[in-house]
Amino acid sequence: MENKVKIGIIICDRYRTCAGGKCLRSMRNREGAFSIYADTEVELVGYTTCNGCPGGNIEYAGDEMVKNGAQVIHLATGLLVGYPPCPYIDTFNDFLEKKYGVKVVLGTHPIPQKYLDMHTQLGTWEDPEWAPRLSATLTDEATRLAYN
């Protein structure tokens, strides 16, 4: 691998008991939003929740992650696919980028097929503003099914 990037992951507090299996698997396999690191070594320097709406842990978590060397913070896929999706995701993105000067990536693991099916049925992501939010985590059907 050519270089190394240190990352942090912030998950939705609704999933606070998540062990991170899908995020870590996709990081290891360079799938979903982690595909941007195809030729890069990745080191995880922080993993935590937002602490629930409206994101009381975002400031502290961002500060701690940057102190640990984070260059990129991923806002986990759960923030995009939860019911409903996080209403603060753009606020978190803008705050972390401006406050800490880090790159923020929306998503971690590929969107599981069952979530794509449900949000399609509900019409959640019909607004064009969702296309760029989801772009890093939409993959082919076989990969989506593997993350169900």
**44-61 residue pLDDT tens:** 999 999 999 999 999 999
pLDDT of residue 1: 47
Confidence check: pLDDT of 141 > 70: yes
CATH number assigned to the domain comprising residue 72: 3.40.50
How many separate domains does the chain show? 1
Confidence check: pLDDT of 64 > 80: yes
Report the mean per-residue pLDDT for the chain.
96
pLDDT in tens, 3-31: 899 999 999 999 999 999 999 999 999 99
Number of neighbours of residue 91 by Cβ within 10 angstroms: 13
- Containing domain of residue 39, as a range? 3-146
The sign one gets for the Cα dihedral 96, 79, 30, 20 is: positive
Q: What is the rounded CA–CA span in Å between residue 31 and residue 37?
A: 9
3-state DSSP of the chain: CCEEEEEEEEECHHHCCCCCHHHHHHHHHCCHHHHHHCCEEEEEEEEEECCCCCCCCHHHHHHHHHHCCCCEEEECCHHHHCCCCCCCHHHHHHHHHHHHCCEEEECCCCCCHHHHHHHHHHCCCCCCCHHHHHCCCCCCHHHHHHCC
pLDDT of residue 2: 56
Per-residue pLDDT band for 40 (boundaries 50, 70, 90) equals: very high
Angle at 43 between CA 37 and CA 49, to 5 degrees: 100
